[in-house]
Structures are given as structure tokens and as C-alpha cells.
A and B are shown apart, each in its own frame.
Chain A
Amino acid sequence: MKIFVCLKQVPDTDTRIKIQGDLASIDANGIKWIVSPYDLYAIEEAIKIRESNPGTQVYVITAGPKPRASEALITALAMGADEGILINVAQPLDANQTAKALAATIKSEGGAKSENGARLILTGRSSGDYNQSSVAQMLAEYLEIPHATVISKLQFSPDSVLVERDIEGGAKEVIQLKLPAVISTNKGLNSPRYSSLPGIMKAKKKTIKEIDFTILGVSAEDFKVKYSNFTLPPDKPAARLISGDVPSQVSQLVKVLRDEAKVL
């Protein structure tokens, strides 16, 4: 059985973002790149399913510029994934192009409809950069298989999965999906393992297959959303501190919230 995990590399969550002079992207200088946090739950879940289903192979795929994007794959291989696939592409892709490129890659590895193809495809519920929360659903459409997003519990059986999807107010939808399917993972699904030193040593011997983006049939017309006019949040003056003893502080605070800020 094959499980595919789709990853994205994003700036570390502690990064202070700076903007390029042309206002069309962020300044990548000095950024530390990490696997997008929600993708870690996808990797962990795939490895867990493999542990209880012998004969399973976990493939991790990412699209991005070499060599940087390979680091994301190495992180996943060090956690325990079996093989990496790098879609080598220098230019930024939008969500639709990414989904098309992933679908074409998975199709070239047996697709999602054949005996020899993907049984389950996992990815994070959103990426830590553009946060469109789109690629999982788009990928499912291009592979013509069902999907479920924002999953915090997954019970695997060979023909179907039973999942819990997080919706508003802490409520959950319990959904059964026929396999193959695409699932996007949320925090709470599992606790992703760290890559151990032996894991990192092993990862160096694992295969990373490289695919040239230009052979995947993704065209310029597949580019749908353009971003421009990047700006940083406006500087705010520091808080107005309210002094005095506690009774006077709270009464002043409630007064300014009501009379000045008018939010009550």
C-alpha cells in the first residue's frame, strides 16, 4: 500500500517578515525554512499507519526550488518516511498549480485509482505562509477521489477511513470516507516525532527522486491568483498603561472601553 504525504516548506513561525523592494514578495534573506507545522501531523500519521499495516510505503512530495526544498523532504525522511519526491521548480506556484503538479506526480507513481497506486494522501490543513487551505481539496478533485479537511482523529481500515473534522466552536463532524481519499490534518491528530540522529543518518541514504516541473503539464493558464502590494502591519503606539490601585485601574479601564474606544 502506498501513502503519499504532500509537504510545503515555509518560514519558521518565529520569523520576522521583511518585504522586498518591489512589494511583490517577502525578503527571503536570512529566513530559516521549516516544514509547514500542520504537515508534520500528516507525516506522523502516515508513519503510524505504516507501523500497523506492514508492507506500506510512505512517499513524501514537495514542490519548490532545489536544494532548499529537499531539506523539507529530508526532515520527513528522518522522521521515518520511505522515499522522497522533489518537484523542482524555481518560480512560485499558486495553490491551483501546486495541486495540479502534485496530482500529475501522483498519477506518474500509479495514480489513485489503480491497485498499485495511492491508498491515502495526507497533507496539512493549511500552510504557514499563504494559508489558502486549498491544495488538499483541489488535489482530490484532480485525482477524482473524496476528501476531508481539518482532521484531528483518524481511524484507518483498508477500504475506508473514519475521521473527525474540527468545525466551529469545538464541534466535530464524524465522517466516513471511501479510500483512496485526500485528508488534511489538524493539530491534535497526533504528536509528531522528532527526527533522531540515527533517523537523520538513515535519511541520507534514502532515495529522493527529482521531477522536472516542466514535464507535469501545468500551464501558465493554471495560475489563478497573483499577490502584489505587500505591506507590513502598521506600527501601533505602545499600550496606554492604566495606573493606580486595582479598583481604580479596572474602573478606568472599563470607562475608556465604553466612552473612548466604544467597544462595549
Chain B
Amino acid sequence: MNNILVFCETQNGHLKRSSQELLQKGAKSGHKVFALLLGSSSTAAPECAHHGAKVVLTAKSPALDQYNSELYLAALDAACETSNPSVILAATSSSAKDLFPRFAAKKNLGLVSDGIALTLQGDEVLVTKPLYAGKCFAQASFENSQIKIVLMRPNQLPVDHANSSLTAEVTDLQVPQLDLSTIVKEVVKGASEKLDLTEANIIVAGGRGFKEAANFKLLNELASVLGATVGATRAVVDEGWVSHSMQVGQTGKTVAPTLYIAVGISGAIQHLAGMSGSKVIVAINNDPSAPIFQKATYGIVGDLFSVLPALTEEFRKILKA
């Protein structure tokens, strides 16, 4: 049995699904799981235990409420000293993607980011990850690395029900004071309070078929009925209809929701690369020869301006029932 350290993150005080996935994965693999919770997220310690952590490491300094690369690096260092892990797991969040490569370099360790499947067997750690924005896949393995760091994409691993009878030992870490070169002045909230595209379970995405920016409201209505996050193609981002944070594809976000509804999207190769990992894909397009229909599970050939409002209504009816 090895020790596994899981970098856990919360949203509105609760453990993110992506962190639950990793805690459960570690516990199911028969290893001793340490959860790391920084700043105010420490209140989620019991949840970490319910998902399989045996030890929860917290660092309650208010300076850690907000991500700061230097402070988080120091906290991670302290967590590693305490937990002595052979594997560190984290989700591919904006914080983890910023933090772990620097930690890997500092400690002379290997790191694999963007994992979609993970094998933890004895000392063996194998990660499947997409390359070339999902146009192919490869298996990554580690060499010359005492601790193996894996960043997994959200929604790739199963989550079983939490077991609320499980408890964990909680240890508060001492994190040194630092003279900072990097200061986070403020965090400007995004337009949407919804889950980020990379974490969303349902995505509805629009392309050039919408003809103009104002018509995206039809898509927003569908999204609000489904509790979905809205995505877009590069073409409409470049037109300035929506912000780049909504772009799905090779120069935007790579996503893998359970349900991806592509509306008015023809399916340029660089868009398909970013979303073809979705479990179920629905395509709505007026051109039956659009490449998107090659990737979709279900398709409707039709005019989005009549299909989309009807579909929104139908979902509203069914989901209310």
C-alpha cells in the first residue's frame, strides 16, 4: 500500500465532483488516501472522509482562500512532507494546471496532465490521455520520478455514493510566511455562475448557423432549462459574438460532458477534436452532409430556428413532469 495525496477543491463550500472522483479512485485502488484542502475549503474535510480519505491535511490561513502560485507551492510542499506520497492526483483545474508543473520541476518529478483514464496498480501508474486535442490517444508512463503527479480531467471517473459513516484524521499544516513576487489583486467574476465547460455534465453549443450574436439567446434558453453550460465554435468567438472562455475545440477548451448538443455547428476538424470525447452527442443542422453528423449519436436535419425553440419547450415539459 502506498500513500496518495489528492489536491481537493471546493465550490460553494462543497467538494467538487472532480475531487470526489480522485479520492474514490485512490481509495478503491487500496492505497492510503490523504486529502489536501487549502484555505477556507477546509470545511469540506468531512466530505473528503466520506469519499475515502483517511487523512485530511488542511492549511487554514486566509491567504490560501484564493489561489496564489507561491503560497500554494509552499503549502503543497508541506503536504508532501507530511504525507510522503508515491502519487499525487489533482483535477485539471486552472489552479492545479498552474501549480503542479512548477512543483514537478522544483522536486525533479514527472507530471502527466489531461488524463482521461488512470491505472493505479501496486507501484504502476498509467495514464491515458488525448494528444493533438483528441485526434489520437496515448498511454503515458513515468520514468525517473519518485512521486508521480497525475492531473485528470473532470467527469472521467465514476463516483459512488458517499459513505457518511467514514471519518478521517485531520491535520493542520504549518505553511511558512513568504515575501511574495506574485500578488493576486482581485478576482473578476465571469458572466456565468454555471459550471465551467471543462466540468459541465451537459453542454449546449452553437456555431455560425445562429447567423448573429443576438440569436444565441435561443441557446441560452435551452441551457437554462437543462442546467447546461453554453459553448461555441471558434468561428463565432472570432466573430466576437461570445467570449473566448466559451470556445470548444483545439484552440479553446476540450470537453467531455455526458450530453453535448451541437446546434448550427457544421463540425470543423478543430471543433470535433475538442468535443468528440462527449458520451452522447446530438447534432442539429440544416445541412445533412455536415461532418458533425459523423460524430453525433443522434441528429436532426432541420432549421435550428424552428427546431431549437420546440426542443427547449419539450425539455421544459418533460423535466417538469
Residues of A contacting B181 with CB < 8 Å? 145-146, 177-178, 181
In Å, the complex CA distance between A99 and B105 comes to: 9
Residues of A contacting B104 with CB < 8 Å? 96, 134, 138, 224
Q: Which of B23-31, B35-43, B142-150 contacts A (4 or more CB under 8 A)?
A: B142-150
B141 adjacent to A175 (CB under 8 Å) = no
A172 CB, min distance to chain B CBs, angstroms = 5
A263 within 8 A of B: yes
B282 adjacent to A257 (CB under 8 Å) = yes
Contacts of B52-74 to chain A: CB distance below 8 A = 66-67, 69-70
A166 adjacent to B142 (CB under 8 Å) = no
B298 adjacent to A227 (CB under 8 Å) = no
B298 adjacent to A138 (CB under 8 Å) = no
B138 within 8 A of A: yes
Contacts of A121-153 to chain B: CB distance below 8 A = 128-138, 140-142, 145-150, 152
Pick from A37, A138, A147, A173: contact of B184, CB under 8 Å: A173
Q: Which of B79-87, B126-134, B162-170, B212-220 contacts A (4 or more CB under 8 A)?
A: B126-134
Q: Which of A42-50, A76-84, A206-214, A237-245 contacts B (4 or more CB under 8 A)?
A: A237-245
In Å, the complex CA distance between A63 and B319 comes to: 54
Max chain A C-beta neighbours (<10 A), residue from B194, B245, B279:
B245
Q: Chain A contact residues (Cβ within 8 angstroms of B): what range?
A: 35 or more
In Å, the complex CA distance between A47 and B294 comes to: 42
In Å, the complex CA distance between A14 and B93 comes to: 27
In Å, the complex CA distance between A261 and B297 comes to: 9
Contacts of A4-21 to chain B: CB distance below 8 A = 11, 13-17, 19
Instruction: Kindly report which residue of chain B lies nearest to residue A188, judged by CB atoms.
Output: B244
Instruction: Kindly report which residue of chain B lies nearest to residue A240, judged by CB atoms.
Output: B298
Residues of A contacting B161 with CB < 8 Å? none
Contacts of B223-259 to chain A: CB distance below 8 A = 237, 243-247, 250-252, 254, 258-259
B195 within 8 A of A: yes
A8 CB, min distance to chain B CBs, angstroms = 13
B12 within 8 A of A: no
A17 CB, min distance to chain B CBs, angstroms = 4
Residues of A contacting B251 with CB < 8 Å? 13, 37-38, 128, 187
Task: Type the 1/0 row for B175-203, where 1 means its CB is closer than 8 Å to any CB of A.
Answer: 00000011111111111111110110010
In Å, the complex CA distance between A99 and B97 comes to: 16
With A171-B190, A172-B188, A254-B315 already in contact, the answer to whether A131 and B105 are too (CB < 8 A) is: no
In Å, the complex CA distance between A253 and B281 comes to: 12
Residues of B contacting A106 with CB < 8 Å? none
B158 within 8 A of A: no
Pick from B140, B185, B199: contact of A174, CB under 8 Å: B185
B302 within 8 A of A: yes
Instruction: Kindly report which residue of chain A lies nearest to residue B277, judged by CB atoms.
Output: A233
With A187-B247, A225-B142, A233-B276 already in contact, the answer to whether A141 and B106 are too (CB < 8 A) is: yes
B173 within 8 A of A: no
With A13-B270, A225-B140 already in contact, the answer to whether A146 and B131 are too (CB < 8 A) is: no
A223 adjacent to B136 (CB under 8 Å) = no
Instruction: Kindly report which residue of chain B lies nearest to residue A230, judged by CB atoms.
Output: B138
A95 within 8 A of B: yes
B14 within 8 A of A: no
With A146-B181, A169-B190, A227-B138 already in contact, the answer to whether A16 and B269 are too (CB < 8 A) is: yes
A227 adjacent to B139 (CB under 8 Å) = yes
A112 CB, min distance to chain B CBs, angstroms = 12
In Å, the complex CA distance between A11 and B250 comes to: 12
In Å, the complex CA distance between A174 and B279 comes to: 35
Instruction: Kindly report which residue of chain B lies nearest to residue A179, judged by CB atoms.
Output: B181
Residues of B contacting A228 with CB < 8 Å? 138-139, 141
B159 within 8 A of A: no
In Å, the complex CA distance between A14 and B272 comes to: 11
B101 adjacent to A138 (CB under 8 Å) = yes
Residues of B contacting A134 with CB < 8 Å? 101, 104, 111, 113
With A169-B195, A225-B112 already in contact, the answer to whether A241 and B293 are too (CB < 8 A) is: yes
B192 adjacent to A128 (CB under 8 Å) = no
Max chain B C-beta neighbours (<10 A), residue from A146, A250, A251, A261:
A250
Instruction: Kindly report which residue of chain A lies nearest to residue B109, judged by CB atoms.
Output: A224
Task: Type the 1/0 row for A10-34, where 1 means its CB is closer than 8 Å to any CB of B.
Answer: 0101111101000000100000000
Residue positions of B touching A, CB distance < 8 A: 66-67, 69-70, 93-95, 97-99, 101-102, 104-106, 109-114, 130-145, 181-196, 198-199, 202, 237, 243-247, 250-252, 254, 258-259, 269-270, 276, 279-283, 288, 293-302, 306-307, 310-311, 313-315, 318-319
Residue positions of A touching B, CB distance < 8 A: 11, 13-17, 19, 26, 37-38, 94-96, 99, 128-138, 140-142, 145-150, 152, 162, 164-178, 181, 186-188, 220-233, 236, 238-242, 246-247, 249-251, 253-254, 256-258, 261, 263-264
24 pairs, A vs B, C-beta closer than 8 Å: A14-B270, A26-B136, A37-B251, A99-B105, A131-B133, A138-B102, A146-B69, A146-B181, A148-B182, A150-B97, A165-B98, A169-B196, A171-B188, A174-B186, A176-B185, A227-B131, A233-B136, A236-B294, A250-B313, A254-B311, A254-B315, A257-B282, A263-B279, A264-B319
